[in-house]
């Protein structure tokens, strides 16, 4: 009986300690639950506000980019909802971290604190990428307009190349801000861009060679010919109507004919005088 009584007393002491520990832990648990509830309420309100604000900004950017600047760019329609969800989960994560710390879940709270401390860096990287996307669209518009004003037929190609280069730059900077090692990626992008620019330069050089030949030959041609004269080049003969920067427009029996200026450097041309015409 004494042994059983001793066991009962030990059991009673253990139960008393457990109840005492639990009773002392209840305030911390209630505080953690209160923080979770408060965070959920605040997160829902912040999500609605962030979604509305993002929608307003999205419409403003869309009007500015597509209206005033003439660029064809817009953010995805789901962007405001995505912004709202991101704000929601950031606030929830913050309050979950605070609740874990209040409840003395030390291992979980330390891990969550690292995640929360990394969020500003992650947001900064995403913002850099987004800004790079918007700026690249502006660069595309500016470069394309400048190339079009200069008379380049492939002005859209120049604009797209400028947009790609600008966006890749912003993307790499954003990844570096996030903390991703971009050394290897930068090397690959540099090689790719070098090959792309070399190809564009070669294509432009080959495409512009004929234009340059005509431009140079036209300057020499304009020294010897003027509108109103009659000229013969190969099988074509007619009166000169106009001398353009790259060609000669002649009225032949078949109609107005544009003769590339370089042909006057490659072939023998004859200026028909009135005496020759009488013969």
Among 16-20, 100-104, 188-192, 237-241, where is mean pLDDT lowest? 16-20
More confident residue, 202 or 28: 28
Residue 278 CA to residue 14 CA, distance in Å, equals 134
φ, ψ dihedrals at 86, nearest 5°: -65, -45
Among 13-22, 23-32, 50-59, 185-194, where is mean pLDDT lowest? 13-22
pTM value surpassing 0.85: no
Domain chopping of the chain, boundaries: 23-179, 181-279
Q: How confident is the model at residue 279 (pLDDT cuts 50, 70, 90)?
A: very low
**H or E element: which one contains 22?**
helix 2-63
φ, ψ dihedrals at 262, nearest 5°: -65, -25
| CB proximity list for 111: less than 8 A, separation 6 or greater | none
Q: For the domain with range 181-279, which CATH number is right: 3.40.470.10, 1.10.3720.10, 2.30.30.60, 3.90.1150.10?
A: 2.30.30.60
Give residue 166's pLDDT: 83
- The predicted-structure confidence for 161-197, as pLDDT tens digits, reads as follows 788 888 888 888 888 877 777 677 677 777 777 777 7
235 in Cβ contact with 187 (< 8 Å): no
More confident residue, 274 or 184: 184
Total H helices, total E strands in the chain: 7, 5
Question: Does residue 219 surpass a pLDDT of 60?
Answer: yes
End-to-end CA distance of the chain: 152
């Amino acid at each position: 009986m004494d042994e059983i009584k001793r066991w009962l007393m030990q059991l009673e002491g253990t139960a008393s300690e457990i109840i005492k520990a639990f009773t002392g832990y209840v305030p911390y648990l209630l505080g953690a639950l209160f923080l979770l509830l408060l965070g959920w309420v605040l997160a829902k309100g912040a999500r609605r506000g962030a979604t509305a604000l993002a929608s307003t900004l999205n419409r403003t950017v869309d009007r500015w980019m597509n209206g005033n600047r003439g660029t064809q760019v817009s953010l995805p329609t789901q962007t405001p909802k995505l912004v709202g969800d991101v704000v929601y989960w950031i606030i929830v994560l913050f309050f979950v971290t605070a609740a874990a710390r209040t409840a003395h879940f030390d291992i979980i709270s330390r891990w969550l604190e690292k995640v929360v401390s990394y969020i500003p860096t992650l947001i900064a990287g995403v913002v850099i990428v987004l800004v790079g996307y918007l700026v690249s669209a502006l660069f595309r518009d500016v470069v394309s307009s400048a190339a079009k004003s200069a008379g380049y037929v492939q002005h859209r190609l120049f604009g797209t190349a400028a947009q790609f280069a600008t966006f890749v730059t912003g993307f790499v900077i954003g990844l570096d801000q996030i903390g991703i090692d971009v050394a290897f990626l930068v090397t690959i992008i540099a090689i790719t861009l070098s090959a792309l620019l070399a190809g564009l330069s070669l294509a432009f050089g080959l495409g512009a060679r004929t234009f340059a030949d005509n431009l140079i030959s036209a300057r020499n041609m304009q020294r010897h010919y003027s509108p109103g004269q009659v000229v013969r080049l190969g099988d074509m003969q007619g009166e000169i109507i106009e001398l353009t920067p790259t060609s000669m427009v002649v009225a032949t029996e078949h109609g107005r004919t544009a003769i590339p200026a370089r042909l006057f450097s490659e072939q023998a041309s004859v200026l028909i005088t009135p005496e020759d015409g009488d013969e």
